[in-house]
Amino acid sequence: MKGPPWPLGFVSFLLFAIPILGVSVPRRTSNNRKSTIQMIGYSPTKTDDYVAVQMQAEAGYIVGFEPIAHADRVHHMLLYGCEVAYSQEQFWTGMATCGSGPSHILYAWARNAPNLNLPPGVAFNIGHEDSSIKVLVLQIHYAQPFVGNVMDYSGVTLHMNDEQPIFLAAVMLFVAGYPIPPKMQQFQSNMSCKYDHETDMHPFAFRTHTHAMGRVVSGYFKHGNEWTKIGKRNPQWPQLFEKIDHPLKIQKGDMLAATCRFDSSNMTETTPMGHMGTNEMCNFYMMFYWEATKPDPFPYGAVCGGNEQPELFGTEYPKEGFELLPPRPELEHTALQSGRPFGIIEEAKIQKIGDITLGQISGLAFDQQKNLFIFHRGSRVWDGSTFDASNHLQDKKPIAEPTLLMTRFDGNTPVLVEALGGNQFYLPHGVFVDVDGYIYTTDVGAHTVTKWKKNGKKLDLVWRFGEEFVPGSDHGHLCKPTGVTKNGDRIFISDGYCNARVVELTADGKYKAQFGAPGTGEGQFQLPHDLVLSPKKTLLVADRQNGRVQELNMEGLVQSVVSSSLFTNIYSSDSFEDTIFMVPGENSYNRFTQDEIPISVYGSRLGTGLLEFAFSPTSERFGRPHVLRVSPDGNHIFIGDISEKGATLWKFRIQHDSSTESHTLSGATYYEKASAAYGAIKNKASTAPLTLTFFLLLGVVAGGIYVWMKKGRRRANPQNAFDRKGFKRLNQEDTVAFFTSDSESD
Ligand SMILES: *[C@@H]1O[C@H](CO)[C@@H](O)[C@H](O)[C@H]1NC(C)=O
Ligand SMILES: *[C@@H]1O[C@H](CO)[C@@H](O)[C@H](O)[C@H]1NC(C)=O
């Protein structure tokens, strides 16, 4: 194996990959577009690991945020809008986010919060001449290292357009810096600022934040003599932005006030404010909008960092603002950091099943009883002399030994249930088992696809499509067909090494339709090497030499495409819920540095086209993965490897925290489930009249330098702990051919 040993190779690859990852992938439809900032394939190295990536802010207006992450990998993500990033590098470790100058929080994500869409007409202004947001910095907090070789690509897709919005959005941070004396059941930290700008502010969401000692945080404003609540929340609950469901207006001359209530009865010493877990914080975030035609009241970030009228709290501040909210154990529980680290663990490398030594493993399929069918080539190997120049098989003797092994796993040991297919196959490729137990196979040597009925130890032929040993591209022939799958009565074949098409057959094996053509465009293929049906009932075609997975509907219209600079080929893919898993069969090379990129399995959120994570074995590198299948329960990944060192069946287990639900939740389903989960929490609540429509944060946090205070524009108390370098880590914090050769051997 050339190149440095695996971990070093990957690390050095990462260094070079940085310029091409974590960058924006603009997609335009009229003036609506998406831009994604994502992690570079990072593997956290310690508990509470904070890292950041930056990207230039492309000029536009953000109207929504779409997280590409899952709580079982990521504790929280914060998106900052900065004038200058902390570092010149694309990626850095530590809690730093913005450099000097204005610093705004635009978005925060945790705990599988769903997409956030701003109210109609409201948007964040970034990248323009008149915006102080020139750079976006995504900070990710990983609670714990992953188990196994797992790399993370979590990120946020910004939904943007170029339309000048009616309202511009920002977030005001209220922050107090009083140290907390010990042994007090109730200690109150107060903030108050007079609003002194002509532009009216309309708060529409709020977020509260403290560490472990915070019990309640509230914010109000006073207009004339009347106090109005902006929001109140227990900071031990998930620290999401909570929507304010009635219109509010803050005008010049109004008094803004907020307070944090702490319980320090267990403490023996004074607790200072700061980012460390042992420090405390007192933050109230108010998300607001103003009319875009009016001047921006806080071009450098909005902060209320002082207490102009401390006497208000003893006399006028609504008493309710100090009172504890009724306990909500289910919320307090939800907010706890997950205990079990995310991991993808190598469990087994199988080369023999009973007495049978596996040959090149070309296909894998599960049946309804969770048996795994292993389709292998026994002693036969596909090499340069297997076919002549016109794709005719040279050795027309079938493989004598059983090539289709029906197995059942006992832990990590496969037990042979039935050895099938002796003397029936020439060069096995794909296999699929339908709900009724019929087996479908493709044979690249015979240029056929066959439906079989398992009859005891035998396979009985039901029908066969394609003329045996005669390659062709018309409606009666196939040419080295690769994969086969079924949707209801419709049978789909990826065809294959010499044709670049998907052929549809009727249930009784007659030609019905086809789509696809050779090429690199959407819906075109260069060696469609595998196809499966996704849970959305779309076809996922591993478009091998184009290095991508195309998601198509039954008529061949492209729904989404997953490709990346990380791989130049994809041999196989499968999906579970909303995650597409895909694997290259050969190493790829960085297109700038030509550095080798070792083979990993990549996970992408179905429909987004974006990578979310990757993993590879821990014991040694993959050889030549040919087929990948996910177990029916979604917990295991199997990979058939046709390495010259010996065919290997790899088994991996996905470990995720049970409290974060399934590790993959799909497209629409993902968001439905997330809302349903929050809905359930809400419904379980015994009392609270709060309408907890959790949605996620965005906002603006002042640069810490620009502290808004009415008089004297004093700096904040130096003990003030601004969150600008990231929210502290805290257990309660809220918390995705030109075929070089058409043979499969080198
Ligand atoms: C104080 O500590 C005790 C014992 O560890 C614990 O049960 C209690 O909940 C703590 N109280 C507070 C307010 O943190
Ligand atoms: C905040 O206000 C409350 C109510 O007047 C008061 O008891 C408390 O001491 C104040 N906190 C500080 C730090 O001054």
Q: Comparing 8-336+666-717 with 344-655, is the CATH topology the same?
A: no
Indicate the domain borders of the chain: 8-336+666-717, 344-655
Q: Is 60 exceeded by the pLDDT of residue 52? A: yes
> 141 a known binding residue?
yes
Atom of ligand 2 nearest to the CA of 314: 5
What pLDDT does 674 receive?
33
| Ligand 1 touching residue 658 (CB < 6 A) | no
Considering only 443-447, 575-579, 735-739, which range has the smallest mean pLDDT? Answer: 735-739
Mean pLDDT value of segment 479-484: 98
Closest-CA residue, ligand 1 atom 9, reads 266
Atom of ligand 2 nearest to the CA of 259: 1
| Ligand 2 touching residue 178 (CB < 6 A) | yes
CA 721 to chain centre: 31
**Percentage of the chain exceeding pLDDT 90:** 70
- The number of beta carbons lying within 10 Å of the beta carbon of residue 413 is 12
Closest-CA residue, ligand 2 atom 9, reads 188
Mean pLDDT value of segment 308-322: 96
Q: Is 70 exceeded by the pLDDT of residue 729? A: no
User: d(Cα 173, Cα 158) in Å, to the nearest integer?
Assistant: 22
Q: What three-state secondary structure class fits 671?
A: helix
| Ligand 1 touching residue 263 (CB < 6 A) | yes
Closest-CA residue, ligand 2 atom 2, reads 313
Closest-CA residue, ligand 1 atom 10, reads 266
Closest CA to 210 of 164, 262, 258, 271: 262
pTM: 0.78
Where would I find the H helices in 375-534?
none
Cα(190) to centroid(ligand 2), Å: 6
Handedness of CA 240, 243, 244, 250 (dihedral sign): positive
Contact 416, 405 (CB under 8 A): yes
Structure tokens at 545: 């030499």
Q: Give phi and psi for 322, each to the nearest 5.
A: -95, -15
Cα(582) to centroid(ligand 2), Å: 58
Closest CA to 20 of 98, 90, 77: 90
pLDDT band at 277 (very low <50, low <70, confident <90, very high): low
What pLDDT does 302 receive?
86
Closest-CA residue, ligand 1 atom 12, reads 266
What pLDDT does 710 receive?
27
What pLDDT does 72 receive?
85
What pLDDT does 98 receive?
93
- For residue 534, give Cα distances in angstroms to 162, 550, 633: 35, 11, 14
Cα(630) to centroid(ligand 2), Å: 58
Tens digits of residue pLDDT in 76-120: 888 999 999 999 999 999 989 999 888 888 888 876 777 888 889
> 104 a known binding residue?
no
| Ligand 1 touching residue 740 (CB < 6 A) | no
**Which carries the bigger pLDDT value, residue 249 or residue 694?**
249
Q: What is the dihedral of CA 52, 58, 62, 68, to 10 degrees?
A: -40
- The number of beta carbons lying within 10 Å of the beta carbon of residue 475 is 11
> 184 a known binding residue?
no
pLDDT band at 207 (very low <50, low <70, confident <90, very high): confident
Closest-CA residue, ligand 1 atom 5, reads 266
Atom of ligand 2 nearest to the CA of 307: 14
CATH number of 344-655: 2.120.10.30
Tens digits of residue pLDDT in 12-47: 333 333 333 333 444 444 489 999 999 999 999 998
Cα(734) to centroid(ligand 2), Å: 27
Q: What three-state secondary structure class fits 465?
A: strand
Burial 680-701 (b: 16+ CB within 10 A, else e): ebbeebeeeebebbbbbbbbbb
Beta strands in 544-664 (DSSP E): 548-552, 558-563, 572-576, 579-583, 588-589, 596-597, 601-605, 611-616, 625-630, 636-641, 648-655
User: d(Cα 229, Cα 248) in Å, to the nearest integer?
Assistant: 9
Tens digits of residue pLDDT in 373-430: 999 999 999 999 999 999 999 999 999 999 999 999 999 999 999 999 999 999 999 9
| Ligand 1 touching residue 401 (CB < 6 A) | no
**Percentage of the chain exceeding pLDDT 70:** 82
Mean of all residue pLDDT scores within the chain = 84
pLDDT band at 339 (very low <50, low <70, confident <90, very high): low
- The number of beta carbons lying within 10 Å of the beta carbon of residue 521 is 10
> 209 a known binding residue?
yes
What pLDDT does 658 receive?
56
- For residue 712, give Cα distances in angstroms to 126, 455, 670, 707, 716: 30, 89, 49, 11, 11
Cα(180) to centroid(ligand 1), Å: 17
Atom of ligand 1 nearest to the CA of 265: 13
What pLDDT does 279 receive?
79
Contact 615, 652 (CB under 8 A): yes
| Ligand 2 touching residue 218 (CB < 6 A) | no
What pLDDT does 331 receive?
75
What pLDDT does 585 receive?
97
Atom of ligand 2 nearest to the CA of 190: 1
Q: What three-state secondary structure class fits 277?
A: coil
What pLDDT does 109 receive?
81
Q: Is 50 exceeded by the pLDDT of residue 446? A: yes
The verdict on whether omega for the bond into residue 496 sits within 30 degrees of 0, i.e. cis, is: yes
User: d(Cα 16, Cα 12) in Å, to the nearest integer?
Assistant: 7
What pLDDT does 101 receive?
86
User: d(Cα 622, Cα 585) in Å, to the nearest integer?
Assistant: 9
- CATH architecture for the domain at 8-336+666-717: Sandwich (2.60)
DSSP-assigned letter for residue 506: -
Mean pLDDT value of segment 352-359: 95
Handedness of CA 590, 737, 616, 559 (dihedral sign): positive
Considering only 75-79, 162-166, 380-384, 594-598, which range has the smallest mean pLDDT? Answer: 75-79
Closest-CA residue, ligand 2 atom 13, reads 189
Cα(211) to centroid(ligand 1), Å: 15
DSSP result, 237-249 = S--PEEEP-S---
User: d(Cα 461, Cα 451) in Å, to the nearest integer?
Assistant: 6
